Amino acid sequence: MRVVHSAEHLRHAPGHEYEDGKAIANYEVPERAEAIRRALEADGGFTFEAPTEHGTEPIAAAHDPAMLGYLASAWGEWVAAGETATEIMPDTFPLPAYHEGMERPTGPGHPRAQVATWVFDASSPIVEGTYRAARSAVDVALTAADLVLGGERFAYGLCRPPGHHAARAMMGGYCYFNNAAIVAEDLVRRTGGRVAILDVDYHHGNGTQQIFYARGDVLYVSLHGDPARAYPYFSGYAEETGTGAGIGATLNLSLPEGCGGEEYLTHMDRALDAIDEFGDAPLVVSLGIDTYRLDPICDLALTTETYAAVGRRVAALGRPTIVLQEGGYYVPDLGQNVRSWLRGLEERGD
Ligand code: Q9C
Ligand code: ZN
């Protein structure tokens, strides 16, 4: 399988995130992508290539261009304002209730006000290299899509930072640009056809769901920890099925705490049936490995073998498939788990 990878992700090295009143080391570390790269290199069955530049147009097709403009200039404005901290993070929460019954003043605002209007959580610092790393992740994803449009049955984009929590006009959840949504939108525009997205990250992909919520030409199917107990809490319930032309083109499947491989595969079969019924569309997979039994921030119980089984079932759909990396935080086994998933997809045995 061909793998697209760029060392530019190393420019994004967030230091901290907020947890229960404390600053802790951020889980979304550069070593994640390095561990995956090394495991795939050692396998010998994967060939690596660099991304090609795709520019900002495909990003602006999925996101508010003002959000793109903000991320491009955030670091420079932070420094120009005389700030010296190495991470930009919100310290205020501009809820709609703040301005209830009042006008919302306009104006550029302090860089701390800016970040709070674009970033929805305290897990997603903007550092000096975030914009360039996030741009490279988009190029990685779009280059993987190019390979599949060029006739490859599968391609894997080793995206970092991840993307599925980034909404049309909002960043967060370690995500800045929504790599999977940008690829799906680009595929629709280039092929004139439909696209299916399968999101297997532990967390609900609120951003991807939102970007296509009113669209009937992009199917969004997600398996995730029940939002009644799991981040991002505010979306991912079964009742969310789309709106307008998109009614029926969103499917959310919630997983119970401790869910193991056997039960997981029954939910997966429901997801794959929905994709099969959607018709002969290319498939974009948001591949989160934070469903792993040892993941430090999640509570499912999947094993390395489960990932191979899932890959094989996805292969059985017979669709051209672009696999893009999302989460997965147990770094010691992350590479083997991704390798297992991708080998399953290629129906290569152990
Ligand atoms: N202290 C992805 O897997 N932090 N994003 C939750 C833990 C944010 C997960 C609180 C988790 C974001 C791509
Ligand atoms: Zn996740």
What pLDDT does residue 26 have?
98
Instruction: Tell me the average pLDDT across 291-309.
Output: 98
Residues with a known catalytic role:
165
User: Is there a contact between 153 and 39 (Cβ–Cβ < 8 Å)?
Assistant: no
**Protein residue whose Cα sits closest to atom 2 of ligand 1:** 327
Is the shortest distance between the CB of 174 and ligand 1 below 6 Å?
A: yes
Is the shortest distance between the CB of 163 and ligand 1 below 6 Å?
A: no
What pLDDT does residue 106 have?
86
d(CA 250, CA 298): 23
Helix ranges restricted to H, 109-178 = 111-118, 130-149
Is the shortest distance between the CB of 297 and ligand 1 below 6 Å?
A: yes
d(CA 154, CA 303): 23
Can you tell me which atom of ligand 1 is nearest the CA of 172? 12
Residue 135 in this model has a pLDDT that exceeds 90: yes
Average pLDDT, the chain: 98
Instruction: Tell me the average pLDDT across 278-282.
Output: 96
User: Is there a contact between 314 and 153 (Cβ–Cβ < 8 Å)?
Assistant: no
Give the Å distance between the CA of 328 and the centre of ligand 2: 6
Instruction: Tell me the average pLDDT across 4-23.
Output: 98
What residues contact residue 337 under an 8 Å CB cut-off, 6+ apart?
289, 292, 304, 307, 328
Residue 350's pLDDT band (boundaries 50, 70, 90)?
low
Residue 349 in this model has a pLDDT that exceeds 90: no
Q: Which residue out of 12, 27, 204 has the highest number of ligand 1 atoms within 8 Å of its CB and is therefore the one to mutate?
A: 27
d(CA 124, CA 63): 18
C-alpha angle 250/256/259, rounded to 5°?
110
Q: For the whole model, what pTM was predicted?
A: 0.98
Residue 348's pLDDT band (boundaries 50, 70, 90)?
confident
Residue 115 in this model has a pLDDT that exceeds 90: yes
164, amino acid identity: H
d(CA 118, CA 89): 10
Can you tell me which atom of ligand 1 is nearest the CA of 17? 1
d(CA 129, CA 239): 39
